[in-house]
A and B are shown apart, each in its own frame.
Chain A
Amino acid sequence: MITLAGVSKTYKNGVNALYDINLEIKQGEFVYIIGPTGSGKSTLIKLLDGEEVPTKGNVDVVGINVGKLKHSRVPLYRRNIGVVFQDFRLLEAKTVFENISYALEVINMKKDIIRHRVRQVMNLVGLDDKGSSFPNELSGGQQQRVAIARAIANKPKVLIADEPTGNLDPVKSDEIMTLLEKINREEGTTILMVTHDITLVNKHRKRTIVLENGHVAADLSEGGYIKHVQ
């Protein structure tokens, strides 16, 4: 599903973000990526969603060599992956329903199919009764649920969650974790979750990839907190 072979990334300003990364993530896996600030987590996500191109090596996602994609093909590739951010990134002027349907309108899906699918994902994330609410009327946890619903609306094969619980209290974080596990289980979506939350990593144990200074410091299939990670 996701293969990184000998991937290095050096930015134009000379900063080396990643060194010779080799990773293999299988379909349906749920993987944590943890590491301190500046360890290369953000760069890894940017390489996976096609925003950045590796300096060396290949990034292969759902059979597509992401680094070799033409500029104009990047949007089509992105339809295979959903991304969730720490700051939710919802459109404030649109309702919950519109925020989710937006992701499907953009890819030119038919209206009746959009309505059906939006209701389906709203039910999945537990927001059936919030369709006509605006983002600023919702709690942080609910907003993140909307963002997750939007990210999985077009049934992407991969969901990348960039610190999805970073702005939430422990109870809400736990709820989001449970939701992601449900999506992983019910929709068969491969999930990559970048996090700082040690409690979550320890409580919901998954394969954990530890990045440090641009290197893979550990890849633990049994998961759990690594002592030297801050």
Chain B
Amino acid sequence: MFSRFIRHIKEGFFGVGRHAAMSISSASAVTITLIIISIFVIFTVNVNSMTNKIEGDVQISVMIDYNYESQENIDRIGLAIKELPGVDVVTFSSKEEELNFFIDSFTDEHEKEIFESYREDNPMHNAYYVKIKDGNDLQALKTQIDAIEGVANSNYGGESSVMLVDALGSVRTGGFVIVVALSLLAIFLIQNTIKVTILARANEIAIMRNVGAKNGFIRAPFVVEGMIIGALGAIIPIFATIFGYIFAYSKLNGILISSMFIMIPPHPFVLQISLLLVGVGMLVGLIGSFLSVTKYLRWKR
């Protein structure tokens, strides 16, 4: 069994070497496809991470009315917010903490002193900070929170953050669609290359069939060959990804446009992308050659 496996691998490599020109041409097709896939994956994953960060940052601050400052009311309002669907984390901040936070926001000692006098008659509200699961629910949740008895008002970052989340979401979906389309294109290209390889080796296949080789035995070296072509096609994209991303990251100091868009650090990100590229290359090779050989073997009895 093992020697058979080794034999198929050997035959696969032999096949790639024997049809070197053809292998190189289809490996280059895979290379181009994988480079584009790499760019889109890097872009999509980064956008994804930025979106998650922005979504994570979006929170609703809820001010509690001065007439509802009893512990009983505070607990009731907190519980009512927690029970709303789409709410992730709810944090309480007392009016004293709010004032401390406000005073600490000044750097000037003199200014700080001015506000210290407010400790006697604290004008701040008790507050809840509500993190939500999905940025799209922001407006709906705000309305529901406002309706709770004892809530003075609530607010969030505003429309712009919601729009940004929406826009990044569209970019993410678009990137994914393009990656899938490109993979299908690569499968088609490999399928055609293997088809030509098969026709070039029709004589050998005929002999294999004559001496009683099972379809799986005939198919295996071609599938290995397809996978090798796919893996070879991944070499240049991998190097381009590693060096290109590290270069871009260091050039941009890991930040895109503003500090809100923080790039994913290169390690281990580029290695993960590299593994993905080899995986996609080999999978595309496997599917392409499998389809091609199976189709050929089916109409030859």
Contact = CB atoms under 8 A, between A and B. Distances in A.
Interface stretch (A101-109, A203-211, A221-229): A101-109
Contact of A76 (B3, B204, B210, B214): B214
Contact of B298 (A51, A71, A77, A103): A71
Nearest to B213: A106
A38 interface: no
A90 to B, nearest CB: 8
B301 interface: yes
A138 interface: no
A142 B242 CA distance: 57
B79 interface: no
Given A51-B301, A93-B18, A103-B212, 7 more contacts: A50-B301, A75-B215, A89-B210, A102-B211, A106-B208, A106-B213, A107-B211
Contacts of A75: 209, 212-215
B80 interface: no
A79 B212 contact: yes
Nearest to A51: B301
9 contacts: A50-B301, A71-B298, A71-B301, A75-B215, A76-B212, A76-B214, A89-B206, A103-B212, A111-B3
Interface string B162-196: 00000000000000000000000000000000000
B298 A91 contact: no
B267 interface: no
Contacts of B213: 75, 106-107
Nearest to A53: B301
Contacts of A93: 18
B251 interface: no
B210 A78 contact: yes
Interface in A37-58: 49-53
Contacts of B217: 106
A52 B299 CA distance: 11
Contacts of A83: 210
Contacts of B18: 93
Interface in B209-243: 209-215, 217
Given A89-B203, A89-B206, A91-B204, A106 B211 contact: yes
A72 B4 CA distance: 20
Nearest to A46: B301
B281 to A, nearest CB: 28
A91 B217 CA distance: 17
A93 B215 CA distance: 22
A107 B212 contact: yes
B275 to A, nearest CB: 34
Interface in A89-127: 89-91, 93, 102-103, 105-108, 111
Q: How big is the A interface, by class?
A: 20 to 34
B16 to A, nearest CB: 14
A83 B208 CA distance: 12
Contacts of B301: 50-53, 71, 74
A194 to B, nearest CB: 15
A150 interface: yes
Query: Which residue, of B18, B206, B209, has the highest number of chain A Cβ atoms within 10 A?
Result: B209
B207 interface: yes
6 nearest A-B pairs in the assembled complex, by CB-CB distance? A79-B212, A103-B211, A78-B212, A106-B213, A75-B214, A75-B212
Nearest to A92: B203
Contacts of B209: 75, 78
B105 to A, nearest CB: 76
A53 to B, nearest CB: 8
A78 B301 CA distance: 11
A96 to B, nearest CB: 14
A76 B213 CA distance: 8
B53 interface: no
A75 B3 CA distance: 21
A79 B28 CA distance: 40
A171 to B, nearest CB: 27
B76 interface: no
B295 interface: no
B19 interface: no
Nearest to B18: A93
Contacts of B215: 72, 75
B7 interface: yes
A93 B211 CA distance: 18
Query: Which residue, of A49, A91, A106, has the highest number of chain B Cβ atoms within 10 A?
Result: A106
A74 B215 CA distance: 10
Nearest to A78: B212
B273 to A, nearest CB: 39
B211 A108 contact: no
